[in-house]
Amino acid sequence: MSDPCLFCRIVRKEIPSTIIFENDHVVAFRDIDPKAPTHVLVVPREHVSSLNDATDGAMLGALLLAAAGIARTEGIAESGYRAVINTGGDGGQSVGHVHVHVMGGRRLAWPPG
């Protein structure tokens, strides 16, 4: 049976995505439905369902360091950006593989809706 996790399949390159960065710990690819001029998702190679299930500090650090690096290479580090981890139903999480949204390139409203 094929892996039901969409982001695991993207990590393994079983389904196409626009990958812009990868290292031993994380893979980053463009969101298929971008909500900002730059909208990249950073995911761990290892399957972790949500932030609630994350216990590996090195993995979480790798996600955030990759997010900051992507902001630099995307040219939004100086103008500003948001790194967001939606968690659970009220948090708006729709894919059950923890991921950081890196969004920028326009002024983002606060608070989110």
**Shortest Å distance, C-beta 16 to ligand AMP:** 8
| Closer CB to ligand AMP, 78 or 109, in the complex | 109
Q: Contact letters (x/-) for ligand AMP, 80-99, by CB under 6 A?
A: ------x-----xxxx----
Question: β-strands 100-104, 38-44: how paired?
Answer: antiparallel
Q: Which one of 31-39, 65-73, 75-83, 102-110 is the stretch in contact with ligand AMP (CB under 6 A)?
A: 31-39
The two three-digit tokens of residue 31, written as one number: 């969101």
Instruction: Supply the minimum distance, in Å, between the C-beta of residue 25 and ligand AMP.
Output: 19
| One-letter identity of residue 81 | Y
Instruction: Say how many residues touch ligand AMP, by CB under 6 A.
Output: 12
- The answer to whether residue 99 is catalytic is yes
Q: State how far the alpha carbon of 95 is from the alpha carbons of 56, 79, 89, 98, 111, in Å.
A: 20, 28, 11, 8, 22
- Token readout for 77 is 């580090």
State whether residue 95 is helix, strand or coil.
Answer: coil
Single out the residue of 32, 37, 52, 53 in contact with ligand AMP (rule: CB under 6 A). 32
* Three-class SS state of 30: strand
Contact footprint for ligand AMP (CB under 6 A):
6, 17, 29, 31-33, 41, 86, 92-95
